[in-house]
Amino acid sequence: MSRLAVFVSGGGSNLQALIDSDVKNSIALVVSDRPAFGLERAQKAGIETVELSRKELGKSGLSEAIEKVMAEHKIDLIVLAGYLSIFTEEFSARWRGKMINIHPALLPKFGGKGMYGHHVHEAVLAADESESGCTVHFLGEGVDNGEIIMQAKVPVVEGDTPETLAARVLEEEHKLLPKAVLSVLKG
């Protein structure tokens, strides 16, 4: 059975969706790069947690520290669920095909550098798109690229703000992420 580590930086509602699904039994560890409410969700569910501070470790120090913790916990699959730090190229190369990310837009559109949080939804509205959604994908060489595992769409509606669109997308994320991770776990 795969041993999964879920990475969070914030509220962790996507982590919660995993905890509330059949994925839970595979979650061996939750990792954060800063103090995050997601850690409390994990602890409440009886899952081990570790905080590796991006601020204290820096980019390469962080990747090294994570690599060590992954080995200690015999992790073979990483799920980035709202994780904001970026890894070194070496780390990404080693974990290629074993690191899954969720992005709040329909990749390959509205991905890449600077496209996170409200920036994504602002860009979708500015481009006058009629739909948006979320993408679960394997991490490739760059930011937000790589093989797409699953996507879900939502409509953009008249009068949408970045906040209303984000909420509609997030609701779909909570359904899509457990489904996509389960499909990877089942091979």
Alpha-carbon distance 143 to 108, whole Å?
11
Indicate the helix (H) or strand (E) that contains 92. helix 89-94
Could you say which residues in the range 87-106 bind ligand GRF, by CB under 6 A?
102-104
Catalytic pick among 73, 103, 121, 137: 103
Is 103 in the active site? yes
Among residues 87, 117, 104, 120, the alpha carbon closest in space to that of 154 is found at 104
CA–CA separation, 165 and 9 (whole Å): 21
Distances (CA, A) of 1 to 16, 48, 68, 121, 133: 21, 18, 21, 37, 30
Min CB(10)–ligand GRF separation in Å: 4
* Least distance to ligand GRF, CB of residue 71, Å: 26
The label of the residue with tokens 């601020």 reads 55
CB of 118 to ligand GRF, least distance (A): 10
Per-residue x/- mask for ligand GRF, residues 145 to 184, rule CB under 6 A? Answer: -------------------------x--x-----------
In the bound state with ligand GRF, the residue whose beta carbon lies nearer, of 72 and 119, is: 119
Q: Using CB under 6 A, list all residues that contact ligand GRF.
A: 8, 10-14, 81-82, 102-104, 170, 173
Catalytic residues: 103
